Amino acid sequence: MSKKDSDIANEVDGVLETKKVSEEKVEGEDKSLMAQLLRENPIKTPIEGEKMEGRVIGMDSKAVYLDLEMFGTGIVYGKEIRDGFGANRKKLGNGDTVTAVILDLENEDGYVELSVREAVLEEAWKDLLDKKDSRDPVVTKIIDANKGGLMLEVNGVTGFMPVSQLTSEHYPRVEDGDKNKILEILKTYIGTEMAVCILDADKEEEKLIVSEKEANRDKEKTAISELKVGDIIEGEASGVVDFGAFIKFFPPSKSSDANEEDKLEGLVHISQLDWQLIEDPRKIIKVGDKVRAKIISIDDTRISLSVRELKKDPWANVNEKFNVGDVVTGKVHRINHFGAFVYLDADIHGLAHVSGFNDYPRKGIDEIVKNGEDYMWQIMSMEAKSHRMGLKFVGEVGKVEARKSEDKTEKVEKKEEK
């Protein structure tokens, strides 16, 4: 064997020997108890933002110290404890277990810095999301109010309840819609407790919206199930607004001496208060008035009522009073950009469309007629079932009558000449 071949053989033998030793070493480690434990229970290095549990091993006026076992000692500063546990937190003692979120793996003092507040908030939001999905009611205390609704706290998280989500019992009925008066009513709820449901919970946007109405939905549905369209109810006006009046009444299963909270509430829209045109519901009905109404629709927990359905429809015999082609006297009730509403008597009204004033070009309707004044109109169309009547402006009462008198005189004179 040449020297070159001998050198190569020695090199190969060296590599094989090294591999053998390495394999024996690995094989030895694989069989060790420590290696086996590490394989079965690998140690995960904690990272910032994760939650950890620690056991209280010491406290002073500024901080609480936690034993994090193999990861060292954790520290939660005094402010974090106050923020996290709140004024009513239980008094901590040595040995108590605390869950916290890692802020810094090693602060300038060599401790793992932890935040109790972050951990508490995370749990709070998780619970809020669970309650949102389950729609379970939760009792909360009102802490503040603004013109739009109420501020409250659930799980230490500040939330908001819009005025529209209050039950009829707490909804502020302000006749003139004055927001300052609404705020005064809402402020009276500060410090009181209400049962609410979570409508929306978003941790990222820190948004929590709740509803008292939703928390009472099942109770209302049970009571409303006793009602049907066509039923006649007797109640009391609980609020009057621009678009109608709210009526509170007891469901059939409750007597008049039951609790106020057992009452249901329905809305009589402005168009259902009377057969005539209504500008301001407050001129027709007042809070406290006794009302008899008919249920005309039920949509989930919304009850629509009608007072006019229980009154005689003045349009039922309109053909006995008026006919298409008649020229009649009518009082202007309201003027807008598309025409004028005119009352022919106390109940029957019609619309004189802007096209009905074509005999007066380049003039606005309010330049031709005035609210509250009587004029002559010709009935162009009439639909009794839909309570519609189309009118055309003829002229001022005196002038029309004078013209009619002139026409009559002219006809008589022509007849005499013949």
Q: Answer for the pair 145, 183: CB distance below 8 angstroms, yes or no.
A: yes
pLDDT in tens, 273-286: 998 888 889 888 99
Question: Do 254 and 287 fall within a single domain?
Answer: yes
Q: How confident is the model at residue 42 (pLDDT cuts 50, 70, 90)?
A: low
pLDDT for residue 173 is more than 80: no
Q: How confident is the model at residue 23 (pLDDT cuts 50, 70, 90)?
A: very low
Q: How many whole angstroms separate alpha carbon 194 and alpha carbon 289?
A: 29
Measured in degrees and rounded to the nearest 5, phi and psi for residue 99 equal: -100, 130
Per-residue pLDDT, 306: 96
Q: How many whole angstroms separate alpha carbon 13 and alpha carbon 68?
A: 51
Q: Answer for the pair 158, 151: CB distance below 8 angstroms, yes or no.
A: yes
> How many angstroms separate the Cα of 386 from the Cα of each of 105, 165, 312, 351?
77, 35, 15, 13
Per-residue pLDDT, 180: 87
Last residue of a domain, one of 283, 310, 337: 310
User: In this structure, is residue 31 part of a structural domain?
Assistant: no
The CA-based dihedral angle spanning residues 133, 139, 145, 148, taken in that order and rounded to the nearest 10 degrees: 30
pLDDT in tens, 310-362: 998 889 889 889 999 999 999 999 998 889 999 999 889 999 999 889 888 77
For residue 103, the enclosing domain spans 51-117
Number of domains into which the chain is organized: 4
Question: Do 266 and 252 fall within a single domain?
Answer: yes
User: In this structure, is residue 127 part of a structural domain?
Assistant: no
User: In this structure, is residue 94 part of a structural domain?
Assistant: yes
User: In this structure, is residue 284 part of a structural domain?
Assistant: yes
